[in-house]
Amino acid sequence: MPLRKNGTLIGRAVAITGLSVAALALPSGASAATTTTASCPTQPATTKAFAKIGDNADYSLAPNGSFENGSTGWTLSNAKLVNGNETVGILGGLKSIALGGGIISGQASVVSPEFCVDQSHPYFRFLLKANGPVGLMNIGVQYTDEAGTLKTQSVQSNVATNLLPGKWKASELNPLSLNIPLVNDGGQTAKVRLVFSSPMSLLGFSYNIDNVLVDPYRRG
């Protein structure tokens, strides 16, 4: 099954590791994602946002995924909107989200607004910068299965661990609908949330994230 219509970047998928089912608690104020058999609404406008790093697929922003309108719709726990855009140059702007803070900080999480995916939304990408001396970022796709059970399908991108602070990087391809059996195998749609969490941080923020984008067309 090709990763994009023009056949490029087929080998990039091997960089995705650690696919497993994990139950992560929703931060206060966030509700469970739901499933539906209705069609997803019209997608936002797309751009070839990652073309400068060799990915010529079309992408659209997750809801308020650039954070230029603040953190509206996102649920932040021990995280906050800060000045400073990603410097890879995927999308311009002035803001990003920082997780953690302080000399020693406990778990921080950022949860996206709910949005619809189907089989034409196999992956998502985002920008990430490690700030602390040691860091770990857990990434998940949260949805409710056909039995009504809230689940978070865990994704471990190889950009999401570090031993030293680093520069802004684009994530690898993170499975989106490919992680949800009722969508990938059952042909249904699902309303999902993206979950970014960091267990702890030392000497300041653990990570910044920015420009969360969904790939609606990669699967030909």
Distance in angstroms (rounded) separating the CA atoms of residues 200 and 108: 7
Tell me the residue type at 214: V
| Cα–chain center distance at 215 | 11
Tokens of 48: 């070839």
**Domain ranges (residues) in the chain:** 16-214
For residue 145, give the nearest of 190, 90, 100 by alpha carbon: 190
For 125-140, write each residue's pLDDT tens digit.
999 998 876 667 889 9
**0.75 surpassed by pTM:** yes
Residue 182 Ramachandran class (φ > 0 left, ψ -120 to 50 alpha, else beta): alpha
DSSP H stretches of helix in 57-174 = none
Looking at domain 16-214, its CATH architecture is Sandwich (2.60)
For 142-194, write each residue's pLDDT tens digit.
998 888 889 888 886 554 566 677 899 999 888 888 878 877 777 788 889 99
Of the pLDDT bands very low, low, confident and very high (cuts 50, 70, 90), residue 31 is low
Contacts of 21 (CB under 8 A, 6+ apart): 151, 152, 153, 154
